Every structure is written in structure tokens, then in C-alpha cells.
Structure 1
Amino acid sequence: MNDIHQSSINRLPQNHRQKTFPNGTLIIERIERGSDDGEYRCQVTSESNVASADTFIRVLVAPLINPFHSPPNLREGMRVMLTCSVVEGDPPLMIQFLKDGTSISMKQQQTTSALVENHHMKFDRTNDYSATLFIESVTNEDSGNYSCIVSNNAAIATYSIFMKVNVPPKWIIMPKDIEAIEGQNIAIDCSATGDSRVWWERAYEKSLSPPMHSKSTLLLMKNGGNHNISKQQQSPTMNHFRTVVSNSHIHTAENGSLIFRDIQYDDSGTYLCQANNGVGSGLSKVIKLKVHVPAYFKNKFSSQTVRHGESVEWSCEVNGEQTIDLQISKDRMILDFVPINNNEDNSLKSNSDTKILHSDNRYNLIRKLQNDHLVSYIIRIDQVDRRDSSLFTCVASNPYGKDEYNFQLIVQEPPEPPENLHALEIESRNAVIAWSQPYSGNSPIVAYHVEYRLWMDSSTSWSNVHHTSNQSTIVEHNTAAMMSKSLLPGTIYRKTLPGTETSINLRSLQPMSTYEIRVQAENQIGFGSFQLTPLKIMTKEEAPSGPPLNIRVFPISAHTLQISFQPPRLENQNGQILGYYVGYKAVDLDEHFMFKKILEDNNNRSIQLKEINITDLRRATKYVIIVQAFNRIGPGPQSEEIVGETLINDPPKAPVLTSINVGYNNVELNWSIETMDDSFDGGLHVSSKLDVPEITGYYLYSKSPQGEWEERHINSEENSFKYNNLLCGNQYQVNI
């Protein structure tokens, strides 16, 4: 293959747009009519032969549309002509208009013009190279994208424009007067057509300051009507509008709505909504916003503490639009207040809005109107007591809402006596006393005071005991030293406990004794009272804790010792003494004590000196004597050892005294005595010489009527005696 050339025998390439390749390909870039159309030959030459082929190239021209534009500032009602002209391109040409991508259909007529189905549009084609779209009176609906499409055998050409019809705004939602309740979230709708900018303004009154006492008449007219408004002695005002600035409370939404969050009474007023898109004078509408205030309390809760017998008052201040109804309840029970009678106290009659509680004239309700939106209700209670410790609720209501205010009244007083005073455990020397926490008087109990005493029939009444600093019968029983001592009869002991404890262990009590116990509570207000009837308990019995007292040993005979003693001290008896054990043993013998049991005689229990004879003892022998008391629980401690010795002989029997001669001033006495000892073994044994007592003398005792006893020692050999110089006619006592 040697070359490629045109029919004019011009070898290719001839310019920079033509390129040939070894494989016989010819490329012509940016082909042009006039220079590139014509006949082309491709010739292939070899050593033995030459071959060629011819082809003809015809260059077609695509349509080229002359740019067209929409009229500037196009307004509704204006005429529009859009001419699409083709400045280049091979005929035949087909010209078509599209709106927003949709073909504008036309009805063919015999003329060169065609009517679009939309009656205000007209399509006109006066030659083969141009076409015009006529719009007689544009509207907002004619706004959009318009395209002219031209096609021929070579290509399709398109040219598009956007046509905007500026239309004055029209109301989509026209704002209206509105009423709202304070605290609500509301939206006042305002929207208009035509891509309008919507904004809100608020009116503020501005005084024009007319002359004093002037009378102004304002004439308002609309559509032929008029309204006369006269104001006497008032300064005329005018509305001065200011743009509403958006904030967290009020702002204008994108759709033009004016939105209030938590609307307030101060938001009431005149508002102006305006819409404008630059076409015409725009739209505006004045509306009235009225915000109603529901009944409400600024404070929802408060409390007050008062002491019993004081007076108290508190106020329920109700805010809101009149008329407001108020209902007061006590612990959710409605209180029925009624107007006071004419015969009530003058201080109450002066206020016509004062009421008194139907069931309790200590309660007063006073109504005071502070301003158009504030009413104060004062509740007063005289001489409060425990019944008044309650939750009081003021419920206020009007047509726009209701609210409540709670007031907690706390009446404090000294606490009541502790309840359920009882003994948990009773032993011989201690007792655990418990009680239940009483009514505290609305003040924390800080201490309990326990008083107790040993009860006796002669005990003073508790009502005569006064708690004064110089009261000698009341002793604080809180120290360890005091607790270790026994309680003295008639003494009142007082112990203080923390208010968190409700039991006490009373120690150092006396066994088998009756105690009276009472408890009082104390709070920050003061001391409460004791129980009307104190608790009475009796401790348990225990064995005597002390020995019998004043033990004496007397030899009665050679075989008998008489033991005398007194009972243990009363505080050591620890119960009723049932009897005594008297122990004895010979000193010279290593043996155990022998005991003799003596039972207490209930008929002679009051006799303090007890006596017992120990018989069958050995003559002239020393004996160790011990005594111990016992009760129902058992024996007590033994007494100290006392030593007694039996006689060598039994003492002689009493002589027999007789008078042998009586004169007017003298008397002679004679006596005789038996010498046999028959007291041992009941006189059943045989007498011995040791049993015969050796008489060493006599003692003669005499007493005159006005004198003292006189003693005379008489020789054992004598057996008579004569008294001389006696007074005649007097009685004398004599024994031997």
C-alpha cells in the first residue's frame, strides 16, 4: 500500500487535521464543509499489481440555535415572546418548545401559526429557520424552564432558559385574632405565596400628650362604614410597631408562623404580620393576642412551726385573672368558711371579706384584693393545739386553670407520757423496765427521765413531789458509786437516758421489795408529764444476806445453854424469815456442828429477841455457837462463832421464903432449900454428889413503897432474917 489521495491526485495528508496510518486508515479531525467534502481514493500498489477504490464524503451541518432570553423583571400580566432562531444547519429543520421537560402540544392550522392548547399561548413559525412562542398574559403558573429543540439529519440542538414570573404575594394563611392561656406553647400561622419574606412586628403604645381635659374623637372608616370612638380626659396613643426579635421565648418560623414558648401575660398586645416578595406593596395584617392568666401560686409549699397555745397566720397569694375561686382544705378535708355574724368581734367586722370556720371559730379567713391579678387570702388560727398540726391546701381556680399551694403547720408541745410502761425482767436486785415511745409533740425526744422509789404504805403521793433543785428527796442515780449503794426507803431516785433508748436496767434494788416507777419524756420544748399511775413491781426473794444480830449465850444449867439473838437487819432479810438454824459443837472435840431448827412463829413475828435452849450438853464444857437465818430461797450467812460454857453444877433451886413473925414495925423471915439436882435428864438419872450444889450464901432483896431495892448478903449457915424499924401499915416486897 503506497498512498491515499483524492481524485484530484492530491496526496494525503494535506494539513494537520488529516492523519494516515500504515493499515490504510484515514482520520480527519474537525471535518469542515467545503474543504473536506468530495471524492477520496485509496490506492494499494505492489511489485506486481496496483489496486484502488473510490468513496465520496458529504459533510452535513448540525443546527445552531441563536441564544434567546426571558424579559427582565417579568411581572404577572405582561406579554412574552420567545423566539428560537437557527443560524446554522442543513434543512429540513424541526423546531419544538418544551416547558419543564414536557412538550408544548399544538393544534395544526392551515396558517403558519398554531394555537397551543393553553389558550393564552401561541406558537408562530414564519419561515424554515425560526419559531416564536407567544404568551399573551403571563401568570405565576407560566414560570418554569423553557427549552427550544431543533433537529435535522445531522444532530439535535437544545437551548433552555428559566423564566420567572414575579407575582405579588397572596395569603395562604391569613393570621387571625387569638386567645391563649399563660404557660401554653402557641403558634400564630401567617404564610403567603410568591416566595414571600414573612416577618412579624409588635405594637407599642406611644403617647401623643394632648392638652389636659381635651376630648378627642377618632373616626374609623372602611368600605363606607364608620365608627366613632370618643375618649374623655385621656391621652391619645398611637401604635408604634417594632420588629419581633427571635429568642428562646418567641421566634418566627421558616413558614412564617409566630411561635411562643411558655406564653406570658405580658405577651398580650397587637401584632402585625407582613409578607413581601418585592412585587407590589406586599401584604400585612394586624391581629390581637390576648393571654389569659390562670389561677396560680408562685410558691407551691411552705411550712411553719409554732408552739402549743400560740397564734399563727399564713397567706395564700393567688395570681391570675379574676374572678378566682378559692377552696381551703385541711388534710384534704374541705373547710367550710362562712361570713361572720354582726355580733362578732369589731376587728373582724371592719373587713367585709372576713369569714370564720363553721365548725371552729378559732379559724379566720381574710380576703384582700391586691390588684387585678393578685388576691391574698390570710388564714389565721388562734391558740393552736395538736389538732391543728396538719397539711393545709389552698386550691385556686378560674376559667383558665387551677393550682394549689400547700402549707404544713407543725404544732410543737411537750411530749406525752411514755406508753405501755412494763417490766421485761424482774430479779431480786435488778429489774429491766421498758416503754413505748409516746407522741413526741412534733419535736424529737432528747431524753427520758426515770424516777423510782421503794414503796411503803406511808410513802408520799407522787403528786406532792416537785422537781426543784433543792428537793432533797430526789437523787440523780446515774453514777457508778450511786448504783452500787442500796436504795434508801423514801428516797426518789432519778436516772436520765438518751431519747433513743426505751428501756432501763434498774440495779441495787432490795429483794422482796415493792417499787414504784414512772417515766417522763423530754423534747426541745420541755418536760412531758409522768404516767397518772406509776408502775408497781415487786423484786424477787433471795437468801438472807446478813447473819442474825446480838447473839448471846447464857448457861442455864450444867447441861443447858440458852441462846438469844435478834433477826438480821431488815435490808438483809431479803424476804420473809421462816426460821433459824442454831449450830453448836464442843470446843475440845473435832466434830461437825449439830444444828437445831427453829421455825418462826407467825403470831410472834414482831418479837425481835429470839431465844432457844440447847439441852443435853456436857457439864462444865465449852461450846461454839453459830446462828443463821433462812427464808424460802435458802439459808443466809452464818453468824460469828460465840463460845458458851455449861455450869459445873446446876444452880440451886429458889429457896422457899416464909414469914414467921410480923410486928407493927418489924418482920422475921425464914427460908428453906432443896439440895437435890433433878433437872438433868428430866430427873430420871440417879443423883450423885456432883449434882448437889454447894450453897455459899444468900442474897436477900427488899423494897419499901417509896424506896429502891436493897440487897443484903446472908451467910449460908443462916436460914432466917429479921427486918426492924419498918413503917407500920406499909407493904414491903422481899425476895431471896
Structure 2
Amino acid sequence: MTYTEMTTPTKHPRDHILKKQYRTRVTLTHKLFELITQLSGNAYGRKRRNRSHHPAIMLRCLLIISLLNSISGHLPDGFTKYPEDSVVTTGQSIDLECMLKRPTDYSLRITVRFLSNMTDKFLNSREVNGQGHYKVATKKKTRVLTILKVNEDTEGDYRCIGVDIVSDEDLVGPYRKLRIAKPPGIQHEDTMTVVESRSLNLSVSFTGLPLPNVTLYRNGTMEAFIPNIDTLQYLLPHVTRSDAGLYTVIASNMAGEAKSEFQVIVRYKPRIMTESTPRKHKISSNVSFSCDVDSNPRSSFKWLHNKTELSSHPNLYSLLNNGQLIVHNIRYNHTGTYTCKASNELGEDRKDFKLIVQVPPGAPGKPKVESYTRTTVQLKWEKGFDGHADITGYRLEYQNETNSWKRFTALRIPTSTTFTVNNLRPNGPYRFRLRAVTSVGHSQWSEPSEEIMTHPLAPLKPLQRGLRNINATSFDVYWNVSNRIMD
């Protein structure tokens, strides 16, 4: 008898074999269910006399389970050993084993369909050993094909055939695939762009045999690990600015590892990051406002002063491209609200900055004399405009009969609006005026107070007083003068 090889590579006997295995598996499963039901009924039912059948029933169950296990391993009919689909690396050695249930009645052969030219060929010891890639041997009724060094020439579909040496019936096994592992490949867009708050599906395709295990990193932090995939669909349902950055994909299998990177760009409207706090600056100084913005794409800027748009002007305003505003040589009318407006094609943001220009203080109110004695005067006045700076004190001057204003030396008046002047001359005329002092400067002199006259000195107290030269019509009174003033 001769064996005729299959000449049509696309026709495989595996389909009808698997159908037959399926039908057998269903039949055995039903039989196993019946036996288990019977065993359960005997264990819990009333017919205790049937318990003697338990060992036989359990033995039949075990036999059926063994048959199901053999079928689930896709062993073809007539074989007790058969190769599985395999993926190996180049240069690796592999054994393909076949064993028939009745090896004495059959001649066991192995055939291969080479992927290189899609031709079928029997492999026997003489032919195989001559090629230098194969070795065929028989070990305990098992036909073993050893591929010494897997390469592209040995890649293909292998199957075992049992040829009946008596009858003309063959046992033909299904093809098993032997493939060379291929290192992973990665395909994706170099840049993925999305608008903030929208969704983004990161789509990455992979090649390789076997399918690679994939790890996804975002800015160095692992985001996902998915084993054995050909396409990664990673959904970002509500994109935020933090989702932007460098994404790294690493794919690995038994043949190697591949690494690729791509950028995710998130587009969003401006957000002004600079803190807004009121600012005080002295008159005639230069003031700079920064408007730091986070936006993509880049923002354009406008500045407004009290809702009026500003433009660059020599010696007044400088508007820079980075959003900075410089106000030169500020005056009091520069006090107010400066608004930074940043905008791009996705929207805008604005923030107010308050500027307070510090100027010299205004003159205090006219001093009022609350009370006075021979040597003291109690003054009180109203506080004037402080020029947006803290008043650090007051300076006081007085005017007497000379009509010239004189400053009290070494006299420091605190920030309160009352003060007692000491060490004045008794029975003397006085008028007073004062000015406020701040870190910016001092005010004009206040309006002078009304003139007052300090109390005069009292007479001296007499001592050793008495009478002398007393007669019927007269007498003399005498006394001595002391240093003490009468109370």
C-alpha cells in the first residue's frame, strides 16, 4: 500500500475530528451526570440496599472523567500522544511525539507542510538526518521527531499519520502549528491631541508571536498592564491637564521586547496662576505686574486700568509679550484696579490687581486747647489724610510773643491725636501748629491754634507774721517772705 500525500494545503482533517470529539464529549458528560444522580439518590434515599453498588458507580465515573480529560486535550482518534501547537524561539530544540493506540497494526509516520513553500513532505530517519535539522527516533512505541535547531526552514504545520499495514485505512491526525516567535512591534500616532474635559482613546497596535504583554506608563508612572493583546484601547473619559505628558509603551514576549513613546497634548483655555493681593507703592516709583498663565495653546494678553484698556506708551506703560505690565513713575491717579485678561481660541480668564499709590499725608486738623496751667497745655486735633501710609508721628511748633515759630527740641509726639505740652513759661502767650510724618514724607503744617496765655505765678507765702507798735489808735503788721509760692 502506498500513501498519497495531500496536495491541497488548505484542507485539513482537523474540523471533522473536532466535531466528532465534541459529540463524544457531550455523550460522556450526559452519562456522567446520570451516574452522579444515581449515586446521590443511593446516598440520601430510602433504598439502603443499593449502597453496595457505590464502588462500581464511582469507578465508572472516574473512567468517564478520564476519557473527558483525554478528549479535552484534543487527542485525535487512535492516538494516545500527539503534538500541540507550539511557538518557539529561533535556535531552540523541540520534540514532537506521536503514539498510536495500536502501534503493532500501523506504521507511524510524521509529515510536515513547510511554510516556506507550502509543500507537504514525509519525514523519515534517512531524509531527516540528511538535512541536519531533524532527528527521528522511536522510543517505547512513540515516534519522536526532534527539531534540533528551529529556524525559518523548519517552520510549518506538522501532523502524524498512522498507516495500517494490513488494511487500507489510515489514521490521519490534525495539523499542529510550529511557529517561530517574533519580537513585538508597536504602532501608534506620534502625538495625540485632545481638548480638556473631552474623552481620549489611546489606541496602540501590536505585532509579534506570541502576542506580547503590554505595560503602559504615563510620565514614568505605570497606568496599566494587559497580557497577550494585539490592540490597546485605553480610554481617558474626562481628560484633565494632568493627563498630558509622555506616554511609554513596553511590549514583551519570549522573542524580545519593544519600547515606544508618544506625546499626549491637552489643549485648554487660560488659567491665571498669579495671586492677587493689594499692593502699595510710593509715588514716583515703578510698579511691575506679572500675569502668569497656564494655557495651551499660548495666550495673548490685554491690560485694563479701571476698565479702560491700556496700550504701551513711553514713560507711562510697558506691555510685554509674556503678560507683564510695567507702570513707570507712578502718580496718585494711577491708584485703582488693573485687570489682566488672557485669552486663546478655547476661552479666556481675567484677574484684578489693586494698586494703592502712597503719597505724603495731608495736614492735620487745627489744634484745639483743651486745658492749660501755668506751664502746661493739653492739645487735641483731628487726623488728616494719611496718604495710604501709616503715620509714624507728629512734629510740633509753637509761637510766642516773638511771632516766630519754634520747634520743640527732642520732642516726639506719638500717633495719637492728643498731647500735653510741658515746661511752658507762666503768664506767656502761645499758639501751636503740627504736621504728620509717614514713611513717604511729611504733611503741610496745620492751621495754628487759638492763642492762649498761660496762668501767672501766685504771690509768695508770708512767714513769721505778727503785730507790733500797738497803741490806742494804730498798730503795725509785719511778716517775712519765703521761697514757697502760695497754693
For normalisation by structure 1, the TM-score amounts to 0.33
Q: Tell me the TM-score normalised to structure 2 length.
A: 0.47
Specify the structure having the higher radius of gyration (Cα): 1
